[in-house]
Amino acid sequence: MASRGKWGSKVGFILAAAGSAIGLGNIWRFPYITGNNGGALFVLIYIVAIIVLGLPIMLAEFALGRATAKNPVGAFNAIRPGTKWHFTGFLGVITGVMILTFYSVIAGWTLGYCLKCLGGQFKGIVREKAALVFQSFISDSWVQILWLAVFLLLTIYIVSKGISGGLEKYAKVMMPLLFVIMLLLLIRSLTLPGAEKGLQFYLKPDFSKINGRVFLAAMGQAFFSLSLGMGTMLTYGSYLKRKENLVSSAAWVAALDSLIAILAGFIIFPALFSQNMMPDQGPGLVFVILPVIFSQMPGGVWFGFAFFTLLAVAALTSTISLLEVPVAFLIDEKKWPRRKATWLVGMVAFVLAVPSALSGGGVRFFTNLPILHKDFLSLWDKLWGNIALSIGAFLVAIFVGYVWKTANALDEITNNGVKFRLAKCWVLSIKYVCPLLILIVLISQFF
C-alpha cells in the first residue's frame, strides 16, 4: 500500500479528476473536431453523449476503482479472477500509452507557443502569417522532438513523485486561473466584428449534415474529454477513500469539463468567422486562430504567454493521469518501484511518439501516410482516441452490467449512506443504452 497513496480530500479528488479530464481535449480537440463535423449539430450530439454515455461510464469506473483499490488490470482480476476480463484492463494500459504519445506532441506545441508569445512573434499577426508560423513550427523535426521530450520529462518527473503531493498541489491553483483567462478571451472574441456568424455555426444545428461519422466523433470526443474508456477514472477512483460521494464527484467532473469545452468553442468560432477562416482545418485550428485573437488584445503578448502556459499545465494534469495508469499497473501487478515504472513507460512513450512528432511535415511518410492519405498523428488520434476508448467503454459497461452486476456496483456507490436518486436510470444506461449505442455507432463505421 505504501507506494499507492490516497487522495488528501474530496475537493482534491474532484480537482485532480477534473484536472485529468480538462486538457487539450477541451481546448484543442473539441474545437477542431466540432469544426470538422459541421458545428452546432455535433455540439448537440456531444452534450447528449456526455449525459447518456459519459456520466454513467464515469460512475462505473469510479465504483470499480474504489471497490477494488486496484489498477485496471488488477481491478478486473480482483472481481473475476481467472477469466479473460483483465484484458480489458490491458487494453486500457496500452491505450493510455498510445494516447500519451500523440497527446504529448500537441502539449509540446503549447510549450513552443509560450516562447513564441514571449518572443513577440505574434505581435500584430494576421491570419496568413499565423498559419505560416504554425506550419513551419510543426514541420521542424528537431524542434518537435525537443518540445515533446521536455513535456514528457515534466510528466515523468511529477508522476515519479507519487499521488497526493504530486497531483493535487498543481491542480488546485492552475485550473481556476485558466478559467479566468478564458473568460477574458471570450469577451474579446465575442466583440470582434463578424462574431455572429461564428455563433451561428456553433449554435444553430443543420440537421441535413447528420451521418454516422458525426456520431462516432461525438461519442469518441465525450469519452476522450472525460478521460474514460481506458481506466484513468478507475485508477483515480482506486485512490479514493470510502466516505466520498461517487455520484456527486462524477457530476462535478463532467460539469466542469463540459463547461471548459463549451467555453473554448465560444472563444474559437466567433474569432474564426470574424477572420473569414474555415472551421474545418484540423488539428492546427486553435494554434492558428489564438495568436490572431491575442494580437488584437491590449497586452496580447502577456495574455498569450499566460494562456499557453496554463494550457500546458492543463495538458500536464492530463498526461499525468495517462501515465499513471500503466505505472499503477506495474507497481501493483509487477511490484516495480514507482520511479522505475515511471521512467520505463515514459521512455517507451517517447520512442512511440516520434512518428507523431514528425507527422506535421518533418518526414513525408508520416505526414501523408500511403493509402490512408492522413497524417500519423490524426490517424493515432482517431484510432486510440475514438475507437479504442469506445471499445473500452463498451467493455466496462458489459462488465459492470452483466459480470460484476449493477447491484454490486450500486452497493459500492451507496454503501457509505450516499443517496442515489437516479440509480434506476444508471442501471438502464449501463445495461442497455451504453452497450447498444456504442456498438451501433462503432459498427456503422464499416458501412
Residue numbers at the binding site for ligand TRP (CB under 6 A): 20-21, 23-26, 99, 224-225, 227, 230, 232, 318, 321-322, 389
Nearer to ligand TRP, 71 or 275 (CB): 71
Nearer to ligand TRP, 104 or 232 (CB): 232
Nearer to ligand TRP, 20 or 281 (CB): 20
Min. distance of Cβ 228 from ligand TRP in angstroms?
6
Min. distance of Cβ 389 from ligand TRP in angstroms?
6
Nearer to ligand TRP, 221 or 295 (CB): 221
Min. distance of Cβ 221 from ligand TRP in angstroms?
9
Min. distance of Cβ 394 from ligand TRP in angstroms?
14
Nearer to ligand TRP, 230 or 288 (CB): 230
Min. distance of Cβ 368 from ligand TRP in angstroms?
26
Min. distance of Cβ 235 from ligand TRP in angstroms?
10
Min. distance of Cβ 24 from ligand TRP in angstroms?
5
Cell of 114: 509560450
C-alpha–C-alpha distance, residues 123 and 133, integer Å: 12
Nearer to ligand TRP, 131 or 341 (CB): 341
Task: Point out the residue whose Cβ comes nearest to ligand TRP.
Answer: 25
Q: Residue 244: how many CB atoms within 10 A of its CB?
A: 18
The three-state (H, E, C) secondary structure of the chain, written as one string: CCCCCCCCCHHHHHHHHHHHHCCHHHHHHHHHHHHHCCCHHHHHHHHHHHHHHHHHHHHHHHHHHHHHCCCHHHHHHHHCCCCCCHHHHHHHHHHHHHHHHHHHHHHHHHHHHHHHHHCCCCCCCCHHHHHHHHHHHHCCHHHHHHHHHHHHHHHHHHHHCCHHHHHHHHHHHHHHHHHHHHHHHHHHHHCCCCHHHHHHHHHCCCHHHCCHHHHHHHHHHHHHHCCCCCCHHHHHHHCCCCCCCHHHHHHHHHHHHHHHHHHHHHHHHHHHHHCCCCCCCHHHHHHHHHHHHHHCCCCHHHHHHHHHHHHHHHHHHHHHHHHHHHHHHHHHHHCCCHHHHHHHHHHHHHHHHHHHHCCCCCCHHHHCCCCCCCCHHHHHHHHHHHHHHHHHHHHHHHHHHHHCCHHHHHHHHHCCCCCCCCHHHHHHHHHHHHHHHHHHHHHHCCC
Min. distance of Cβ 46 from ligand TRP in angstroms?
13
Nearer to ligand TRP, 17 or 400 (CB): 17
Contacts of 61 (CB under 8 A, 6+ apart): 228, 231, 232, 233, 234, 237, 396
Nearer to ligand TRP, 230 or 292 (CB): 230
Min. distance of Cβ 314 from ligand TRP in angstroms?
7
Nearer to ligand TRP, 93 or 125 (CB): 93
Nearer to ligand TRP, 101 or 232 (CB): 232
Min. distance of Cβ 312 from ligand TRP in angstroms?
12
Quote the crossing angle between the two packed helices 338-357 and 141-160, to the nearest 10°. Answer: 160
